[in-house]
Structure 1
Amino acid sequence: MITKFFASGGALDKAIPGFQARQPQIDMANAVADAIKHESQLVVEAGTGTGKTFAYVIPALLSGKKTIISTGSKNLQEQLFHRDLPLMADAIGFTGRVALLKGRSNYLCIDRLNRQVLESHDVESDPTLLTQLVKIRQWSSSSKSGDFGECDDVAEDSPVIPLITSTNDNCLGRECPSYDECFVVKARRKAMEADVVVVNHHLFLADLAIKETGFGELIPEAEVFIFDEAHQMPDIASQYFGQSLTSRQLVELAKDIDIGYRTEARDMRQLQKTADRLQQAAFEMRIILGDPGFRGNWREASQTPAVQRELTRLSDALDLTYDVLKLALGRSQLLDTAFERAATLKAKLKRMADTSITGYSYWYECTPRQFSLNITPLTVADKFKDQMAEQKGAWIFTSATLAVDENFTHFSHRLGLEPKKQFSLESPFDYNQQALLCVPRHLPEPNSYGLANKLVALLSPVIEANNGRCFFLCTSHQMVRELAEGFREKLNLPVLAQGETTKQKLLNEYLAHGNALLVATGAFWEGIDVRGQALSCVIIDKLPFTAPDDPLLKARIEDCRMRGGDPFAEVQIPDAVITLKQGVGRLIRDTKDKGALIICDNRLVTRHYGAVFLRSLPPIPRTRSVEGVSDFLSTINNITVIEDDNQHSEA
């Protein structure tokens, strides 16, 4: 049944230019159809190029069952909804309804926009803020979705967005004067009525964990749950099955109280005073927690006298906020909602202060302006398993990186899965001809002094010979900074570094230059799709083991030990293998791509566990010679030039 749609001369072949039937894709489509039919669990590792999107979407559309498809990112979510789904629906004649649903922070809140416009007329307000708000209000009058992804007048990272979107904490719900026009309500209504709903993991798991009003009613109605980029699920699930208290929650509460005072309760000056005190207490806590970009052990930190003093100050500020807001009850819906939030945050802070409850990891994280206090369960397997049992239906998990040494235990165990079937699909790429892997000789030890300078000296000739067109993926922000500085002194090529602008702008700059080196960390290890010779060299600074002092890793190690396991073999190595596979996957994205991969870590060949990493990677020919890499790149670049010349002469 399914096979005929994928076969040569079938519906997809006729409707989609350049479509080619691939046996691995057909195998996956049949397995997905079988899982849907029998309401079972399925885990599929589908390497880049196998066409996994078609392989799960076609059976879902043909099943006639309500389906939720969850992706790893908003970009993939939008690509699936706007490009892939319409293409496949047309090809097979699917006439059902499809909806896109994002988290509420992606949608304009009309009530908060109106309040901000009113507030921005104040003498002390920034005039550029009012200009932006007016532009957004003009856009909102013609927008059907209210989705900022469709608004060209506001940047994705604009500071105005948090001011005019709602959170689960501050939404007024049915009491909101703009409820009937609410874009979030409209989006959820569409999702309720749709046959296929495209969400992302953060939204899906937030809903699963808290049964948020509106969307919480959506999931029980679904019969098929499909997760693309499923390797991200365990870590995201850990966030949502735990608890967190952030300075942003406290500051936003303070700002709303101040707006309530300015617009609806000007006779209650104490509202402004308590808002200022709460904001100051949040700021003082951020300062006392130390350097930005740091994850620390909250259980230990909360016992220090300095942090305990700030905890008391923050608790007192929240108590005062609660008491003052209680006096303002009935004056304004905004202040009534703020009172409920203050009560919730008081309870959260009390829970954060009690680190004696076992079975959880207690940790904190700082950015330059924010902090978050977090309680994360050591394992989410039982909770996720319970949710699957409650929802029933088919549960399908797929990604290019799920297996470690051809074994799925690491992934399945973390989510409590008991798949009826799990397998890997062979990639259509000819890695033997398309790629070369180098682990250079005479490498310094990872983390050794002056490592960045040595890597700059060793690899500059390769990068220059390739005329840039290279990603250097690092395991820390510190290494990004040191390498960027070193390469800028050494190379006559554009050197771009993550952190100097947004991810999308950085990628656009890289492509525009055509001869750049991009030095980056986390965000560029996955979800980046650069095809052709624009990216023909990927360098990785070392095996991506999570820092041993990371509190989440410590928690999982503790859990593994409690079960009598070997944390290094069962937690640390599998995590690093999955991350490495993601980084390696940036290189070959198409059957015509060619390129070199350099991993600057001797442990791949000197330690016994190096074999696990190598066996988990695609079958790429290997060398220890950096000069051999330069020769390989020179050869493929010459071939590309000849092919381009031939195409021009034919044209």
Structure 2
Amino acid sequence: MRVESLDEVLGPSGPIARSHPNYEFRPGQIEMAKAIETAIAERRHLAVEAGTGTGKTLAYLLPCLASRKRVVISTGTKNLQEQLFFRDIPFLERALERKLSVCYMKGRSNYLCLKKLAEIDEVGYLFSRHDPAHLERIRSWARGTESGDRAELAELPEDLPLWGRLDARRETCTGQKCRDWDACFVTQMRKRALESDIVIVNHHLFFADLALRQGDFGSVLPDYSVVVFDEAHELEDVATQYFGVMVSNYRIEELVRDAERALGEGEAASPFLSEQLARLAVRAGDFFGRFRAREGKSRLEELRASSEVRRAPAGRDDIGAPYRELVSGLGVVEAGFANLSIQSDAIQAVTRRAGELRTQLGEIFESESAECVYWFEARGGRGVFLWASPILVAPVLRERLFDRVDTAILTSATLATGGNFRFIRSRLGLEQADELVLGSHFDFREQAIFYVPRDIPEPRDERWAPRACLEIERILEASRGRAFVLFTSYAQMELVYGSLKGRLPYPMLVQGQKSKTGLLEEFRATPNSVLFATASFWQGVDVAGEQLSCV
């Protein structure tokens, strides 16, 4: 596909126009596509701000398909990733009348582990009275699925605890030693990626892979020469997560659970270690409980030099002893499992993970480095996430990404600052790049209303919820439902959803009831529905027509 042919493909008489019932000619889309094709041909980087309605998805897909290079397309969310693969790619295949070499990859926890499914009855982990029915549904699905991606189980709750016993996450994987290695859905996913010209991922998987490539851990993604970042304004935040350190109460709970299971296998039983694991669970509960007083993100404050730890939540100088007990407990588990007379892959994995957690806690609470910011986040009343995040990721990204890949395309509706890209380029280490700013296809003055309530208290004020609910009721009455109600935290979402349930005359959906894919399908199919959700629905979600009239 030559540059001049993009006019034909995307123009009023081209295959896209003939195949799309609501086609609109968009000069900005063609300009963007040509700029991307030139950047790929000349091995240059490109930053593109493409306003809402530009049609940027087709603008980068077409030149990537024509490049004859392996391209990784990285999206901001799994929702957008699925939209690309299950909607946009099939549309292009119909329009261009040819099969495209495209696959998608997600993180391992999205895929079913066949070995765990076969062994679940022996383990006996069921969490609720609904789990036997959920398990039977998963088994039935497993017999026919080609991908093993849990997104296909649209009707299952998003946060189903049972799935955590069945997913293919790295911590419990035995790799090629597993009897199901060849049939494994992760193995099959990687094979498809090696055979594909375009691989669609999300930012979290992309940067997890980039972080792995810095050491001797291999990689997840196949090698590529071109990468396209959609919703590129999120890159700094996501990269900061993967080049920093994070420890959560969930990681320690999973360690204890997997360690107990490892002891139960074969002849490895140890009453002493079972007791130590029980103590570790109690110590973790005590330690992480001291971070739950306040929902959201907060800084870890520096303590006086004589303190047992260097930093703690504001007003909590009492975490030194619980911290030492937790670290000591991890050390006992690490040494105890390392010295078991009978070793297995599962036991060795527990040893490694306990050591990693102990080291990472030290990096968060004992490190003297001034190159990181130290903070924590409390989510949903139970989850606590502790972080040491690099202040600058620009040097890392410059060395490991932009200096090594032929072409990086960064695009978003909100990428430039003051009409230029100096800020985003400085934050990401993108020293040399072509630039393009395209306005929105829409006339917002004529086609949109932007409403800001003036009399709602701050979200931490106890009066916020009832006032916000009254305001939301008024807005939804005006829009006749047909809305997303989006939040910055699960706690806010659940509070408002619970308050409005039964008060609204519209079908109400809430994140967590089903998979995100399942929720979107139901929202599209249900007239006047209202969806209550969090950050993963903020962007990259496309609901055509008046079904989504208000956000």
Q: Same fold (TM over 0.5)?
A: yes
Structure 2 equivalent of residue 78 of structure 1: 82
Decide which of 206, 214, 233 is 1:204's aligned counterpart: 206
Comparing 278-287 with 259-268, which one deviates more in the overlay? Answer: 259-268
The separation in 1 between residues aligned to 2:202 and 2:266, in whole angstroms, is 37
1:109-156, CA deviations, whole angstroms, 9 ceiling, x for partnerless residues?
122333332111x8x987754554454344323332222122457443
Larger Rg: 1
Structure 2 equivalent of residue 362 of structure 1: 374
SS in 1 for 2:319: helix
Decide which of 69, 82, 89 is 1:65's aligned counterpart: 69
Structure 2 equivalent of residue 170 of structure 1: 172
TM-score under structure 1 normalisation?
A: 0.73
The separation in 1 between residues aligned to 2:141 and 2:500, in whole angstroms, is 44
Structure 2 equivalent of residue 421 of structure 1: 434
Structure 2 equivalent of residue 243 of structure 1: 245
SS in 1 for 2:343: coil
Q: CA deviation at 1:104?
A: 0.4
For the structure 1 residues 383 and 150, does the alpha-carbon distance in structure 2 shift closer, same or farther, using more than 3 Å as the test?
Answer: same
Q: CA deviation at 1:503?
A: 8.2
The separation in 1 between residues aligned to 2:82 and 2:329, in whole angstroms, is 42
TM-score under structure 2 normalisation?
A: 0.85
Q: CA deviation at 1:396?
A: 0.3
The separation in 2 between residues aligned to 1:348 and 1:439, in whole angstroms, is 43
The separation in 2 between residues aligned to 1:328 and 1:473, in whole angstroms, is 50
The separation in 2 between residues aligned to 1:432 and 1:534, in whole angstroms, is 21
Amino acid at match of 2:353: R
CA contact (8 A) 2:501 2:508 kept: no
CA contact (8 A) 1:89 1:95 kept: yes
Aligned-residue Cα RMSD (Å) equals: 3.5
Structure 2 equivalent of residue 216 of structure 1: 219
Q: CA deviation at 1:185?
A: 1.6
SS in 1 for 2:227: strand
Decide which of 432, 444, 448 is 1:435's aligned counterpart: 448
Q: CA deviation at 1:165?
A: 1.5
1:254-280, CA deviations, whole angstroms, 9 ceiling, x for partnerless residues?
111211222323542223222222222
Answering whether residue 13 of structure 2 is matched by residue 9 of structure 1, we say: yes
For the structure 1 residues 494 and 97, does the alpha-carbon distance in structure 2 shift closer, same or farther, using more than 3 Å as the test?
Answer: closer
* Equivalence map 1:281-430=2 (5 Å): 281-291=283-293, 293-300=295-302, 301-302=311-312, 304-328=316-340, 330-367=342-379, 368-430=381-443
SS in 2 for 1:88: helix
Structure 2 equivalent of residue 184 of structure 1: 186
Structure 2 equivalent of residue 105 of structure 1: 109
The separation in 2 between residues aligned to 1:142 and 1:510, in whole angstroms, is 26
Amino acid at match of 2:346: L
Instruction: Give the length in aligned residue pairs.
Output: 533
The separation in 1 between residues aligned to 2:107 and 2:345, in whole angstroms, is 23
Structure 1: unaligned runs, 5 residues or longer:
539-651
CA contact (8 A) 1:470 1:537 kept: yes
Query: Percent of aligned pairs with the same residue?
Result: 32
For the structure 1 residues 202 and 133, does the alpha-carbon distance in structure 2 shift closer, same or farther, using more than 3 Å as the test?
Answer: same
The separation in 1 between residues aligned to 2:32 and 2:535, in whole angstroms, is 29
Structure 2: unaligned runs, 5 residues or longer:
303-310
CA contact (8 A) 1:191 1:218 kept: yes
Amino acid at match of 2:25: A
The separation in 1 between residues aligned to 2:367 and 2:523, in whole angstroms, is 46
The separation in 1 between residues aligned to 2:373 and 2:294, in whole angstroms, is 20
Decide which of 5, 28, 31 is 1:24's aligned counterpart: 28
Structure 1 equivalent of residue 282 of structure 2: 280
CA contact (8 A) 1:73 1:201 kept: yes
Amino acid at match of 2:240: S
CA contact (8 A) 2:154 2:514 kept: no
CA contact (8 A) 1:261 1:269 kept: no
CA contact (8 A) 2:49 2:436 kept: yes
The separation in 2 between residues aligned to 1:258 and 1:248, in whole angstroms, is 15
SS in 2 for 1:216: coil
CA contact (8 A) 2:168 2:186 kept: no
1:391-415, CA deviations, whole angstroms, 9 ceiling, x for partnerless residues?
2211001112223343333322221
The separation in 2 between residues aligned to 1:179 and 1:320, in whole angstroms, is 33
CA contact (8 A) 1:274 1:324 kept: no
SS in 2 for 1:428: coil
CA contact (8 A) 1:298 1:362 kept: yes
